[in-house]
Structure 1
Amino acid sequence: MRHILKKKVSLPIFTVLLGLLSLVATGQDNEGTIWHDASLLTVHGKLDTVYTAPFQRFPMDMKDKVRERVWQLSKNAAGLYLDFKTDATDIIIQYEVEDKLAFPHMPATGVSGVDLYMSTPEQEWRWVRGNYNFGDTISYQFSGIDVDTIQSFRLYLPLYNTVKWMKIGISRYTELKAVALPEVKKPVIVYGTSIVQGACATRPGMAWPSILGRSLQRCVVNLGFSGNGRLEPEIIEFMTRTEASVYVLDCMANFTPGQGLNVEEAKKRLKSSVSNIRKKHPQTPILIAEHAGYSDGDIQPHRMQSYRELNVATQQVYNELLQEKTPNLYLLRHENLGLGIDGFVDGTHPNDHGMILYADAYLKKIDTIEKE
């Protein structure tokens, strides 16, 4: 993946080989806080940083290739994050978003909030609690962080909102450096539905692709589009522009009758998607996932029938492709995901517990794939 630092003409040029790019402050308030424009940091989690707006997921050339709803969802910052280093004990994040702050089934902290983690010297991630205020300008303040020297931080951006601008405030006696090292490992690229995008995690860092990324110590690219993960060839083509360590197709939840699609269309598009990936990347592992199910299937049989039919169809496509000698193809089963009745918010979308189960299932499967 390509990473660049967007800069004003007056900024000095820093070498990417050093891995750390010092940011120039954009302003100072009367209390001595230095404000840094977050768009000057490398935004991780996207497949193209050259022609893509700082806090969005698709480059401009995709605008006329995908449906309008998909384009609008691609402007949401799901899965994007900022890596930086600082010795500040207090960090302030201020920003503005375009859409409503919360949903009936998902809090503002997940829809529109940010989420901060600090990495320990042992490369373990620690969550940093922040005080937040949601208004026309959203503000998060992370105070009293126990740091003696410069530490590594990761700031996840909102899952279901589009960021207009963002700035980071620290004391003028401390420093902030952007981490812009090239990815050592190829990313995991995930194409999916609202569950991939992050519904209904309470915080951006609790979306299962984000949890998986921290566990793998690798970028996991989130191409989740709420209600619109339909295995469309334009998005498959976009994915295949980048060599992945694993391509993940987790779209079955959007082939239900309520989406205007059906089982036969799911089979057709799934087989075509795998074939199109294979044309460009003959050996890269492809992981297809079954529908995770619904928590109310036992007492609402039509709901159980819906996802079971889709999972049978997924298994049929998987077996057909294996018979056709498709290499390095893998299946994540409904049983592997293991979401029980306590793993959902509304019977369809995982809560934080369900997201952890999701991420754990993917972690185990990818670990198995990469050991082969």
Structure 2
Amino acid sequence: MQKKYLLVIIVLLSSLTGIRAQQVIPSSILTVQGRAFSEVPGFHRVDTIKYHNIPPAVKKLYAHAAGLFITFRTNSAKLSIDWETADAALGNNSTPIMSRGFDAYVKEPDGWRFAGVARPQLKKAESSYTIVENMEKTEKEFLLYFPLYKELRSFQLRIDEDASFSPTIQQFDKKIVIYGSSIVHGASASRPGLAYPAKISRSMHADVINMGVSGNARMELSVAQMINDIEGVDLIVMDCVPNCSPEQVTERTFAFVKELRKRHPNTPILMMESIIRQIGNYNLEWKKKRHKQNVNFRTEYERLLAAGYKNLFYLPADHLIGDDYEGTIDGTHPTDVGFERMVKIIQPKIEEILDLKSKM
């Protein structure tokens, strides 16, 4: 009997030793990438104390980690993460992984390949998860996207005890700022890396700054003034029509572009219409509103051209999420299929604009 208990104790101790035999990599040694400004508190996208004139709802959303990521190299066979978000609440049209989880990719010769996700606890703000395990012990470069719809409070990585580890920083030759609604923010991708700004970033190897603010992209001048402080911008994308009333589109578009031109006088600006919301298939009021939003946006674009503004480009909503009525989760927010369809139209337009810019 004593031998049996001794064996149980040895097994338990071995198990505990196995758990402890890991390196803990603190977030402090990693460089947060994908945000507009280097001096930002925590894992926020914007220093909202500095930009105190931004509306309170917009400030709260810029505390979300949408579009932020880290990269690093390791030969660990296992990659785990411990993290805490501001709370455990979830939206009714989002997955827990997209909202509060992480999304990992490994760099291959032909680009970044999906490796695994970190699934959050559903009832607690603190979570721990093994993203991927049983890998070959060869050195790989990882890209890890942060949660899209939560303020990330803290995180640490865990790797094999004897594994190598080195932070990396991606070098991009172009910077694209995308300002917009919940669709830019990432609703309703299944995981962080499938939001359309992230997909374009990987595909084009571009520094794509996600400035989406769910439900609150209303072209306030204070937001344009903040965007004006972003340096080295090659293209600004305005995908903000969905959150503006038709009247706001008329009242604010011209002034917003005029404000941007104070600090970005020659930077190309791509003005995108609102996607055709499938919620308007039978809801006539939604259909009427969306149509009026885009009509007014086109009018303001033409008014800007007539006033002499240059390097303005326009992208109609036609076919952005497909024509089979199967591109959204709720009639408004794209599924992964919807986002893929958007990228197939938006990316060629971006490449065309940047190609023209390079020839100027």
TM-score with structure 1 setting the length: 0.86
TM-aligned CA deviation for residue 54 of structure 1: 3.1
Maintained 8 Å contact 2:119/2:129: yes
TM-aligned CA deviation for residue 31 of structure 1: 2.8
- Identity among equivalent positions (%) equals 28
**1:319/1:146 Cα in 2 relative to 1: closer, same or farther (>3 Å)?**
same
Q: 2:139 is matched with which residue?
A: 150
TM-aligned CA deviation for residue 63 of structure 1: 4.9
SS of match in other structure, 1:128: strand
Return the letter of the residue paired with 1:364. P
Report how many aligned residue pairs link the two structures: 336
Maintained 8 Å contact 1:270/1:317: yes
Query: Partners in 2 of 1:133 and 1:312 — Cα distance?
Result: 42
SS of match in other structure, 1:129: strand
Compare 241-250 and 61-70 and name the one that shifted more. Answer: 61-70
> Which structure would you say has the larger Rg?
2
- Larger % of helix: which? 2
Compare 244-253 and 136-145 and name the one that shifted more. Answer: 136-145
Query: Partners in 2 of 1:60 and 1:186 — Cα distance?
Result: 25
Q: 1:103 is matched with which residue?
A: 91
Maintained 8 Å contact 1:186/1:245: yes
Q: 2:6 is matched with which residue?
A: none
Q: 1:68 is matched with which residue?
A: 56
Return the letter of the residue paired with 2:132. S
Q: 1:290 is matched with which residue?
A: 273
Alignment of 1:121-136 (within 5 A): 121-122=109-110, 124-130=111-117, 132-134=119-121, 135-136=124-125
Query: Partners in 1 of 2:190 and 2:172 — Cα distance?
Result: 30
**1:133/1:286 Cα in 2 relative to 1: closer, same or farther (>3 Å)?**
closer
Query: Partners in 2 of 1:174 and 1:101 — Cα distance?
Result: 35
The equivalent position to 1:273 in structure 2, one of 226, 242, 256, is: 256
**1:91/1:302 Cα in 2 relative to 1: closer, same or farther (>3 Å)?**
same
TM-aligned CA deviation for residue 142 of structure 1: 2.6
Gaps of 5+ in 2: 1-16
Return the letter of the residue paired with 2:305. L
Q: 2:154 is matched with which residue?
A: 165
**1:106/1:282 Cα in 2 relative to 1: closer, same or farther (>3 Å)?**
same
SS of match in other structure, 1:117: strand
Query: Partners in 1 of 2:304 and 2:134 — Cα distance?
Result: 52
Return the letter of the residue paired with 1:245. D
**1:63/1:283 Cα in 2 relative to 1: closer, same or farther (>3 Å)?**
closer
Query: Partners in 2 of 1:36 and 1:328 — Cα distance?
Result: 45
Q: 2:349 is matched with which residue?
A: 365
Cα-to-partner distance string for 1:91-150 (whole Å, 9 max, x where unaligned) = 00110111234222111111111100111033x111012463514421231333644532
**1:368/1:74 Cα in 2 relative to 1: closer, same or farther (>3 Å)?**
same
Maintained 8 Å contact 1:185/1:245: no
User: RMSD over aligned Cα, in angstroms?
Assistant: 1.9
Maintained 8 Å contact 1:96/1:136: yes
Residue 236 of structure 1 pairs with residue 224 of structure 2: yes
Return the letter of the residue paired with 1:174. A
Q: 1:7 is matched with which residue?
A: none
